[in-house]
A and B are shown apart, each in its own frame.
Chain A
């Protein structure tokens, strides 16, 4: 019964699209027609059962409403998919590629865009639900790590760096980077970060860089080899200071954010971090973190971005992929995604501008015990240009990851 209701609701949502743009809606009708009966292979990170279940749910909905079959291909690293599409291009496979839709952002997106591995520009902004996207207040839905998306990827959710701690062990969490260093020094062995080039480890480096760099403007431009060492000097000075106090004295690192969260649950760490402000609440609801875990951010703001779905150039189910991407943007799918026990991932939509019924769904939601309210989440620091990712990673590996030779 519940499923039937949601299905009815799904159809209802699509009916809400403004009818005045009849040409546009005709084009969308064509997409729906083409999509019927297609199978979409959605390559998305599969490390979190809750997210997997959400993807599964959305797949059931679009199959019911539009006759599009979505298969979640669970991957451990999005970069693998980029290589896969590249391999297909290298042997001239122009159609029938293995990948129809990818969960992606940042460096991987920049790499695919640069190498011509993505479907033609503009499709994302023709999706009916694009109308609800918060372009005004969430600039990162159109600019991914300083790279314009050009409608080649459709926004799915918002990410912002938040720190998690157990309130039984820390009563007053640090509120600045300096405070974090201070905490680590007073409690050696209880803080760490995933090892770069893991995405979350690199994000921590970017956060520290944004906090310590003299002139933030350089971050929005491609890395300048000439001044790189000088720019990152304060970052590495900070890390040199931090590392002796890290978990395992910095000789080993958590593998990724999920591993770090597990170490927090195991009491090995006092502070962990996540890119999803609702992650801690979701983990509490699922028994993966103690109920006393809370989150905090830095007063000066933390790094934030948007994650997307993109279609490769050689997908033969592009219409189906668009239908799924559009469904993921629907207010119903977006509210469900934000519920902490489902996933807890913030919406990309402009909630204030939604029709009353949809807005009510968001307003009624309980974000969970450990999630900061939007007002308390603090300012969003923009992602640096994608070229900083590999530059920072290489510098880090040379300094800390290559062993003592």
Chain B
């Protein structure tokens, strides 16, 4: 095999351009207006005016604190829940069962999960209805602040419910490597409790693989828009939804301030990442001191139970939320305190399928293409880099994750300008390209580890009998990786379906997906329709995950070894 020549290979160049080009150009389109340069509105000079206006905005610090606090706390809480649960239960039947529940939950788009959760826990929501009036005496919903609380507690809960499945699957993927069982055995034979074994022996091995997803979660949670709009506080709102509101203010000069705000958002997310990295250091230093302490902690029954509880709660909350969405789709009238609708109607549902069929098709087309291209590009990149023996961890990794580590709104507006200049705005191709920017990093995240774990001896053996590089890829590497490739495809498709702002801004309203439809309908008050579209959003990713699970077992139905490899 050839040695690295130092000259970058085609896929690396292609992907670096695909990702950094739009992000940097978009960022420029944000930075210039932030410093007062937006020629179309007659602002030609560089001035600190927008920054000054931003800093004078009432409640700005409260918004910043909310974004920072809810985002960071939700992320750390999610990670803690995942790790403690995994530590206590990995390898048990309970673990297997919950895994089966959690994977499809990943396909629930953020907005749909938030809408369902709001139905569930509001004072006039399902939980209160279940116990009213017979137990609570409530003939009317109590006037209690649950949704949109000023501290953002509900919003944090909503984020946790959504990020836990993601981090869990990432942890699961990281655990799916050889010799993990041996560590458990070694730990057990030395008399360590299950949880101690995990934290002292297993976690140090797998944490590096969870780290990037965790950073992406922090960047996302500190700049989230849709969940914040549904569950978050409004007096004031966190920074990101306020930015979107300023961007869209009919007073067009607010644009400049919004751009300055986008830079502030970048700063807030960066600060959250920094704080996390410092915390990470502190925790690992503290851990390192305890590695050699010799404490076995064999009695960890209570801790294990504490780890199971939040996980079960999240699965229950999410499942109930989605079930409720299902009921609302056929509920015509559902007055408080009835636990079930008084009048049912399937009309809306049929209507929506008629009207929404078009949107569903567009969503499907974009998702399949974006996921297909992203998966193919990832494979190409990985194959080329391992063929040239380029290191797996390098600058390429950082660049690939750039779109995930930067808040979307900090560069989307500039990106929109770019597409307009190129005359591409509102075209299918443009939306596809915009989706690719966000989909590719997830595809890479999902596939790079399985690729690197692939035993290189297969390829070597094939090469030694004269198989070409092409043949090795198509006949050895790809079939061996069929399962992770399909999962990657499903994850990528789910990410594509969830894209709201990029579809709206780049698609110029001409490209209608179930996600843009569902946000538009959620702005009205019709819960039946809102629920229906939230569920439509869920259909495509769910189908993807089911296919990813079914196809390999069909393809490998007569290959025992391939089936067992899980």
List chain B residues, Cβ under 8 A from A24. Answer: none
List chain B residues, Cβ under 8 A from A249. Answer: 145
Q: Are A403 and B62 in contact (CB under 8 A)?
A: yes
Give the Cβ gap from A196 to chain B, nearest Cβ, in Å. 11
List chain A residues, Cβ under 8 A from B421. Answer: 91
Chain A interface category by residue count: 35 or more
Give the Cβ gap from A255 to chain B, nearest Cβ, in Å. 8
Contact check: which of B59, B249, B509 meets A401 at CB < 8 Å?
B59
List chain A residues, Cβ under 8 A from B247. Answer: 83
Give the residue among A190, A255, A398 with the most B Cβ atoms within 10 A: A255
Over the window 250-271 of chain B, the binary record of Cβ atoms lying under 8 Å from chain A Cβ atoms (1 yes, 0 no) is 1110010000000000000000
Q: A267-B335, A403-B62, A403-B236 are in contact. Are A83 and B248 (CB under 8 A)?
A: yes
List chain A residues, Cβ under 8 A from B148. Answer: 252
Q: Are A401 and B236 in contact (CB under 8 A)?
A: yes
Give the Cβ gap from B324 to chain A, nearest Cβ, in Å. 14
Contact check: which of B234, B250, B343 meets A111 at CB < 8 Å?
B250
List chain A residues, Cβ under 8 A from B555. Answer: none
Give the residue among A52, A75, A91, A286 with the most B Cβ atoms within 10 A: A91
Over the window 231-257 of chain B, the binary record of Cβ atoms lying under 8 Å from chain A Cβ atoms (1 yes, 0 no) is 001111000000001011111100100
Instruction: Closest A residue to B341 by CB, please name it.
Output: A287
Give the Cβ gap from B348 to chain A, nearest Cβ, in Å. 7
Over the window 266-296 of chain A, the binary record of Cβ atoms lying under 8 Å from chain B Cβ atoms (1 yes, 0 no) is 1110000000000000000011101000000
Give the residue among A77, A256, A266, A397 with the most B Cβ atoms within 10 A: A266
List chain B residues, Cβ under 8 A from A107. Answer: 250-251
Q: Are B345 and A287 in contact (CB under 8 A)?
A: yes
Q: A73-B510, A98-B509 are in contact. Are A87 and B149 (CB under 8 A)?
A: no
Over the window 63-107 of chain A, the binary record of Cβ atoms lying under 8 Å from chain B Cβ atoms (1 yes, 0 no) is 000000000011111011111101111110100001100000001
Q: Are A403 and B150 in contact (CB under 8 A)?
A: yes
Q: Are A74 and B517 in contact (CB under 8 A)?
A: yes
Q: In this assembly, does B156 line the interface, its C-beta being within 8 Å of a C-beta of chain A?
A: no
Q: In this assembly, does B333 line the interface, its C-beta being within 8 Å of a C-beta of chain A?
A: yes
Q: In this assembly, does A6 line the interface, its C-beta being within 8 Å of a C-beta of chain B?
A: no
Q: A253-B234, A259-B525 are in contact. Are A86 and B510 (CB under 8 A)?
A: no
List chain A residues, Cβ under 8 A from B150. Answer: 251-252, 403
A88-135 interface with B by 8 A CB criterion: 88-91, 93, 98-99, 107-108, 110-111, 115
Over the window 389-403 of chain A, the binary record of Cβ atoms lying under 8 Å from chain B Cβ atoms (1 yes, 0 no) is 010000001101111
Q: In this assembly, does A355 line the interface, its C-beta being within 8 Å of a C-beta of chain B?
A: no
Q: In this assembly, does A300 line the interface, its C-beta being within 8 Å of a C-beta of chain B?
A: no
List chain B residues, Cβ under 8 A from A255. Answer: 229, 234, 523
Q: Are A403 and B343 in contact (CB under 8 A)?
A: no
Bound: A84/B426 CA distance, A: 11
- B residues whose Cβ falls under 8 Å from a Cβ of A: 38-41, 58-59, 61-62, 123-124, 140-141, 143, 145, 147-150, 229, 233-236, 245, 247-252, 255, 332-333, 335-336, 343, 345, 348, 351, 355, 416-417, 420-421, 423, 425-426, 504, 508-510, 512, 516-517, 519-527, 529
17 contacting pairs across A/B (C-beta < 8 A)? A47-B523, A48-B524, A73-B512, A75-B509, A93-B423, A98-B425, A110-B250, A111-B250, A251-B145, A252-B149, A252-B150, A252-B235, A260-B525, A262-B525, A266-B335, A267-B141, A268-B124
- A residues whose Cβ falls under 8 Å from a Cβ of B: 41, 43, 45-49, 52-53, 56, 73-77, 79-84, 86-91, 93, 98-99, 107-108, 110-111, 115, 188-190, 195, 197, 247-253, 255-263, 265-268, 286-288, 290, 390, 397-398, 400-403, 405
Given contacts A111-B252, A267-B336, 7 further A-B contacts (CB under 8 A): A84-B508, A84-B509, A89-B40, A262-B525, A266-B124, A286-B332, A405-B61
